[in-house]
């Protein structure tokens, strides 16, 4: 097993089994780090807790819900507004967050009365909102407050409200992934099947494991609507509470982030017989294949093909402009979970970059299997890294850019490595054909930023060039390119708008005649 022990972790020898280098000719049975285990004491993990995974990743993107944490205000504050899961109802779920604000006295005397008071106050403060999710925290779990009983009391008193209780305290798993699991199972156990939806199409899907980061979900919904598909619910980005209670009526579950939402897909398959189709929404080829598969499932692959051809013709020349300038650049792909495998192969193939390292903060070994399978030989794969390991890896691999979260991203900046936000994006959305070009543009801007180059100059001792009064990105990126590339009339930089999402809500869609209705005539 090609394990890798970082110098900085020699004092924590157990860390050796959490990193591997995929050697030439090696496969998954040779190289796979341990994963989804409790963080080793002494290793300062970059992970979040199980409460964070339940609330911040999966719960809060639901848009028409009061999301209240039963616990200290700090838990709530740290899971508020740090991810850009936007919504089409004026971002209600991003603007407001709620905590019962438990203090020491509540730990001693209990906090059930406090919880009930908070629930009623929150509903009174927002009379148009009739749905609530209550998140248990370590504090309220340890004292044994019966949140379900309080929620039921309130629902009995206020018949028009519905409350979902998520019992996923911080200590409920090794990482936020434990919370993903818990809220998946809680939702299907408590809520799925409690609403009957209006079916408006012969082709009905749930779009699962999609969190509408900077509009990803709206981009994908546009494609589905162009195919005449009804998206019954999105679990959970831009998703509506009551739509998600009706997940049991879909014909197909289209699963994007398997790490956070495969559990509910598996259960929907077992309990309701709805098949699970895993897709990739990132990158031209994977996205095209994904749309085609969905089209094939319903017998409308021609509609998918029309979208693929139109979008590829519009955006591929722009993607290729960036590919010419990104070829050979070294990337550390260090996200939380699923982008490790969503991106590992396609950024290499479609943008020409070399993935020299992959890591996952909270993923399972299954995520690493996918990631290692998809990256090239020589890549360093790390499970649950700590900050010093990240620094050592960057010093060893000398990446041109890293894709990670904002905390390790800021650490990278300190050693002059540019970073892009893999979780909340820089200038997203990154899904969809246009989105993939936006991602390429962000990578280009990060790598070739003249300001970034200036960061390497020490004005106290380095010689300052005086011939160049200014430098542009293109001067840097095109210096070694052939004239054939730089003078190409086919390739072009990104020509989309600053906001590629808002206008989607104004679009009208074709009204496809239903084959079932046509057959009945």
Partner 1 sequence: MDDVMKDRVEQLVDYIMKKCLWQFHSRAWDRERQNEEILTKTMQLLCGEPVETATPADRCYWVDAVCMSEAFKERYPWLNTMDKEDIKSLMRGLKERIDYLTITGSLNKELHDTLY
Q: Which residues form the interface with partner 1 (CB under 8 A)?
A: 27-29, 32, 34, 36, 185, 251-252, 258, 262-263, 266-267, 273-280, 285-286, 289, 292-294, 296-297, 341, 345, 364-366, 369-370, 373-374
User: Cβ of residue 185: shortest distance to partner 1, in angstroms?
Assistant: 8
User: Cβ of residue 190: shortest distance to partner 1, in angstroms?
Assistant: 16
Helix (H) or strand (E) holding 166: strand 162-166
Cβ neighbours, 10 Å, residue 327? 12
User: Cβ of residue 280: shortest distance to partner 1, in angstroms?
Assistant: 7
Q: What is the dihedral of CA 414, 418, 422, 424, to 10 degrees?
A: 80
User: Cβ of residue 8: shortest distance to partner 1, in angstroms?
Assistant: 25
User: Cβ of residue 61: shortest distance to partner 1, in angstroms?
Assistant: 22
The reply to whether omega before 327 is within 30° of 0 (cis) is no
Nearer to partner 1, 176 or 240 (CB): 176
User: Cβ of residue 344: shortest distance to partner 1, in angstroms?
Assistant: 9
Separation CA 177–CA 336 (nearest Å): 10
**Which residues does residue 170 pair with via DSSP β-bridges, in sequence order?**
none
CA neighbor of 83 nearest in space, from 122, 114, 57:
57
Residue 85: strand, helix, or coil: strand
Nearer to partner 1, 27 or 395 (CB): 27
Separation CA 141–CA 49 (nearest Å): 14
Separation CA 70–CA 266 (nearest Å): 29
- Between strands 66-70 and 419-421, the pairing is unpaired
Contact 291, 301 (CB under 8 A): no
Nearer to partner 1, 169 or 286 (CB): 286
Nearer to partner 1, 291 or 391 (CB): 291
Nearer to partner 1, 16 or 406 (CB): 16
Helix (H) or strand (E) holding 210: strand 204-210
Nearer to partner 1, 32 or 102 (CB): 32
Nearer to partner 1, 267 or 389 (CB): 267
Separation CA 117–CA 124 (nearest Å): 11
CA neighbor of 253 nearest in space, from 244, 2, 138:
244
Separation CA 281–CA 284 (nearest Å): 9
Separation CA 289–CA 279 (nearest Å): 8
Separation CA 309–CA 312 (nearest Å): 5
| DSSP secondary structure letter of residue 3 | B
Nearer to partner 1, 121 or 376 (CB): 376
Residue 462: strand, helix, or coil: coil
Contacting residues for 276 by C-beta, under 8 A, at least 6 apart: 253, 255, 262, 265, 266, 268, 269
Contact 36, 175 (CB under 8 A): yes
User: Cβ of residue 304: shortest distance to partner 1, in angstroms?
Assistant: 11
User: Cβ of residue 27: shortest distance to partner 1, in angstroms?
Assistant: 6
Nearer to partner 1, 96 or 272 (CB): 272
Residue located via tokens 């009706």: 246
Residue located via tokens 């779990």: 141
Residue 197: strand, helix, or coil: coil
Nearer to partner 1, 27 or 495 (CB): 27
User: Cβ of residue 26: shortest distance to partner 1, in angstroms?
Assistant: 12
Show the beta-strand stretches assigned E in 167-203.
none
Separation CA 429–CA 452 (nearest Å): 24
Burial class of 179 by CB neighbour count within 10 A (0 to 12, 13 to 18, 19+): buried
User: Cβ of residue 260: shortest distance to partner 1, in angstroms?
Assistant: 12
User: Cβ of residue 298: shortest distance to partner 1, in angstroms?
Assistant: 9
Radius of gyration, CA atoms only, the chain: 24
Strand order in the sheet with 66-70: 98-99, 66-70, 131-136, 162-166
Nearer to partner 1, 202 or 280 (CB): 280
User: Cβ of residue 32: shortest distance to partner 1, in angstroms?
Assistant: 4
Nearer to partner 1, 218 or 367 (CB): 367
User: Cβ of residue 275: shortest distance to partner 1, in angstroms?
Assistant: 4
Nearer to partner 1, 275 or 450 (CB): 275
């Amino acid at each position: 097993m090609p394990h890798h022990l970082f110098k900085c972790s020699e004092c924590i020898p157990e860390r050796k089994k959490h990193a591997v280098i995929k050697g030439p000719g090696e496969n998954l049975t040779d190289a796979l780090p341990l994963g989804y285990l409790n963080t080793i004491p002494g290793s300062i993990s970059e992970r979040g807790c199980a409460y964070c995974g339940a609330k911040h990743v999966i719960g809060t993107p639901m848009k028409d819900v009061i999301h209240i944490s039963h616990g200290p205000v700090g838990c709530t504050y740290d899971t508020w507004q740090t991810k850009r899961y936007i919504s089409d109802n004026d971002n209600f779920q991003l603007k407001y967050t709620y905590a019962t604000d438990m203090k020491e006295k509540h730990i001693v005397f209990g906090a059930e009365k406090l919880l009930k008071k908070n629930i009623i106050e929150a509903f009174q403060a927002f009379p148009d909102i009739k749905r609530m999710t209550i998140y248990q925290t370590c504090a309220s779990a340890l004292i044994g407050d019966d949140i379900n009983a309080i929620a039921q009391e309130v629902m009995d008193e206020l018949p028009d409200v519905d409350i979902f209780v998520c019992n996923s305290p911080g200590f409920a798993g090794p990482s936020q992934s434990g919370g993903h699991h818990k809220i998946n199972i809680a939702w299907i156990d408590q809520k799925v099947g409690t609403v009957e939806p209006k079916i408006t199409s012969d082709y009905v899907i749930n779009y699962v494991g999609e969190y509408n980061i900077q509009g990803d979900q709206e981009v994908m919904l546009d494609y589905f609507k162009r195919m005449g598909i009804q998206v019954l619910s999105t679990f959970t980005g831009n998703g509506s509470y009551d739509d998600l209670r009706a997940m049991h009526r879909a014909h197909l579950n289209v699963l994007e982030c398997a790490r956070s939402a495969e559990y509910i897909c598996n259960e929907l398959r077992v309990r309701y017989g709805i098949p699970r189709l895993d897709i990739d929404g990132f990158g031209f080829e994977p996205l095209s294949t994904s749309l085609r598969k969905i089209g094939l499932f319903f017998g409308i692959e021609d509609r998918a093909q029309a979208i693929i051809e139109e979008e590829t013709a519009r955006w591929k020349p722009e993607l290729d402009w960036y590919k010419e300038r990104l070829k050979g650049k070294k990337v550390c792909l260090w996200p939380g979970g699923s982008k490790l495998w969503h991106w590992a192969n396609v950024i290499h193939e479609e943008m020409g970059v070399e993935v020299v390292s992959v890591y996952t903060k909270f993923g399972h070994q299954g995520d690493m299997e996918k990631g290692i399978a998809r990256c090239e030989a020589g890549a360093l794969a790390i499970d649950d890294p700590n900050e010093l390991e990240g620094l050592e890896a960057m010093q060893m691999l000398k990446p041109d850019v890293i894709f990670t979260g904002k905390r390790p991203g800021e650490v990278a900046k300190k050693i002059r490595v540019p970073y892009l936000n893999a979780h909340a994006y820089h200038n997203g959305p990154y899904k969809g054909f246009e989105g993939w070009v936006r991602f390429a543009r962000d990578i280009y801007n990060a790598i070739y930023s003249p300001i970034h180059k200036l960061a390497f100059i020490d004005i106290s001792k380095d010689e300052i060039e005086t011939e160049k009064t200014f430098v542009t990105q293109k001067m840097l990126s095109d210096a070694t390119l052939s004239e054939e590339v730089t003078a190409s009339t086919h390739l072009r930089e990104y020509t989309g708008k600053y906001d590629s999402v808002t206008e989607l809500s104004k679009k009208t869609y074709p009204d496809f005649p239903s084959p079932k209705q046509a057959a009945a005539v």
